[in-house]
Amino acid sequence: MKIIIADDNPRMRQLLRALCATSADTVIECGDGAAAAAAFAQHAADWAVLDILMPVLDGFGALTEIRRHSPAARVVMVTNHADESFRERAQQLGATEFLSKDDLMRLPEILHPSTHS
């Protein structure tokens, strides 16, 4: 499985990589949403894990680009912001899941639920 992770914070990318490693054969890190959208298309990724607040193109923009090119794309949005409007917008744009960064330990189960049945 190939997973694209995008966060502008290198330490958060490191944490996301560690959480994805149990589910993925390949994890590709990006520092902004534009790079994530391009990498998703280039690598035919299975999942994208996107921070919402990033430079160049935010997570919502990246989600929109990914879904435009891959309508069945599976995308997890992650954020430090508990604002319900973020969750609603992610759902409207077609996010598969929405996680608070305080709840990231659920990420492996979301990405590969059969390993946690």
**Beta-carbon count within 10 A of 3 CB:** 28
Q: What is the pLDDT of residue 68?
A: 94
pLDDT tier for residue 116 given thresholds of 50, 70 and 90: very low
pLDDT tier for residue 22 given thresholds of 50, 70 and 90: confident
Q: What is the DSSP string of 12-57?
A: HHHHHHHHHTTT-SEEEEESSHHHHHHHHHHHT-SEEEEESS-SSS
User: Does residue 94 fall inside a structural domain?
Assistant: yes
**Enclosing domain of residue 104:** 2-108
User: Does residue 27 fall inside a structural domain?
Assistant: yes
User: Does residue 113 fall inside a structural domain?
Assistant: no
Inter-helix orientation angle 33-43/59-69, to 10°: 20
- Asked if pLDDT for residue 112 goes beyond 90, the answer is no
Start-to-end C-alpha separation, the chain: 18
| Number of compact structural domains in the chain | 1
User: Does residue 52 fall inside a structural domain?
Assistant: yes
User: Does residue 117 fall inside a structural domain?
Assistant: no
Q: What is the CATH number of the domain that holds 40?
A: 3.40.50.2300
Measured between alpha carbons, how far is residue 22 from residues 30, 65, 92, 109 in Å? 19, 27, 29, 10
User: Does residue 13 fall inside a structural domain?
Assistant: yes
Share of the chain above pLDDT 70, in %: 96
User: Does residue 116 fall inside a structural domain?
Assistant: no
Q: CA geometry: angle at 96 spanning 90 and 100, to 5°?
A: 60
User: Does residue 114 fall inside a structural domain?
Assistant: no
Q: What is the pLDDT of residue 85?
A: 93
Q: What is the pLDDT of residue 46?
A: 93
Average of pLDDT values for 93-98? 96
Q: Facing residues of 47 across strands?
A: 3, 74
Inter-helix orientation angle 59-69/84-92, to 10°: 10
Tell me the pTM: 0.93
Q: CA geometry: angle at 65 spanning 64 and 69, to 5°?
A: 115
